[in-house]
Amino acid sequence: MKKPNQQPALHKVIMVGSGGVGKSALTLQFMYDEFVEDYEPTKADSYRKKVVLDGEEVQIDILDTAGQEDYAAIRDNYFRSGEGFLCVFSITEDDSFQATQEFREQILRVKNDENIPFLLVGNKSDLGEKRKVPLSEATGRAAQWGVPYVETSAKTRANVDKVFYDLMREIRSRKMEDNKPGNSRGKDKSKRKKLKCVIL
């Protein structure tokens, strides 16, 4: 299907979640194989990387947003342009888990698309002894949303690649669906939602 000389496909991923849960840590581990111990709140950062996804060369754009409310004002502008979301909480902090509900709602509101590629990510899995969010609770919420749940550690790199690649796969299949000939859903997200309702 793809023409060989085309620019590689670009998938736009947005990291969301409360402050300090490890969004930047996951991003930096994925981008540069590095882990930073110090916590420096992010305002917004963006990265691009070329990766091979199931044999196909693609580019991933990662937008690492601010968890801190101080920077929430500019978040909407970014949310609008994301194609997939990693919604991160820390398994050691229940508040951050509760906050995922709000992030989910905000994303659905901005994107107006129930089926937006989305992963629920429980980070800091290396700190198992400090776990505050039971696995069952997290998987329960993910099931309720109809999204995958993955536990990661930005420190040990456990599942770091997995969450980014899994999300890219979802985005890719989503795009292929949208580009199917005779599929009128195309660019209008609101139509997409209506159609979904019909299916349901």
Partner 1 sequence: MDFESPDVERDFPGLYASESGSGKRSQDSDFSDDAHDRSTKKELLIGKRKDKKESKKDQGYAALEGESSPEEDLDVKSPCKSKKSKSFKFPTIKEKREKSREKDSKEKDKDKDKDKEKDKDKDTDRDKEKRKELKSKLKLKDKKKVKVSEDVTESVEEMPVFGVPLSVAVDRSHCHDGIEIPVVVRNCIDHVQDYGLATENIYKISGIKSKVQQLRRSYNKREMVNLCDYDVPTVTSLLKSFLRDLPEPILTTELTPKFEDIACVKELAAREQELASLLLQVPTCNLTCLSWILRHLENVTANESQNKMSISALGSVFGPVFQTSTRVVTALLSHCGALFPNVKLVRYIPPLSSGCTSLPNTREAIAAELIKQDSLLNQIHSEMNHGYTVRSEELWEVQRFITLLKRKLRSLEKAQEASSQAVDKVDSVAEKSEHSATAAPSTTLSKIAPISPSNDKIDFQLQVWFTLLSSKLAKLAQLMHNLYPVFK
- Per CB under 8 A, 77 contacts partner 1: yes
25 Cβ contact list (under 8 Å, min separation 6) = 35, 36, 123, 154, 155
- Per CB under 5 A, 42 contacts Mg ion: yes
Please name which of 141, 75, 69, 64 lies closest in space to residue 110, comparing C-alpha atoms: 75
Q: Which is closer to ligand GTP, CB of 42 or CB of 115?
A: 42
Q: Which is closer to ligand GTP, CB of 101 or CB of 179?
A: 101
The whole-angstrom separation of Cα 24 and Cα 17 is 10
End-to-end alpha carbon distance in the chain: 30
- Per CB under 6 A, 75 contacts ligand GTP: no
Provide the 8-state DSSP code for 7: P
Q: At closest approach, how far in Å is the CB of 64 from Mg ion? A: 6
- Per CB under 5 A, 65 contacts Mg ion: no
129 Cβ contact list (under 8 Å, min separation 6) = none
- Per CB under 8 A, 177 contacts partner 1: no
- Per CB under 6 A, 72 contacts ligand GTP: no
Structure tokens at 82: 């994301």
Structure tokens at 34: 């590095």
Contact of residue 69 among partner 1, Mg ion, ligand GTP, none (CB under 5-8 Å per partner type): none
- Per CB under 5 A, 18 contacts Mg ion: no
Residue 123 and residue 152 in contact, taking contact as beta carbons nearer than 8 Å: yes
- Per CB under 6 A, 46 contacts ligand GTP: no
- Per CB under 5 A, 24 contacts Mg ion: yes
Contact of residue 132 among ligand GTP, partner 1, Mg ion, none (CB under 5-8 Å per partner type): none
The whole-angstrom separation of Cα 153 and Cα 99 is 19
Find the part of the chain contacting ligand GTP (CB under 6 A) among 64-72, 105-113, 133-141, 175-183. Answer: 64-72
- Per CB under 8 A, 161 contacts partner 1: no
Chain Cα centroid distance, residue 180: 24
Would you call 95 helix, strand, or coil by DSSP? helix
- Per CB under 8 A, 3 contacts partner 1: no
- Per CB under 8 A, 49 contacts partner 1: yes
Q: At closest approach, how far in Å is the CB of 91 from partner 1? A: 27
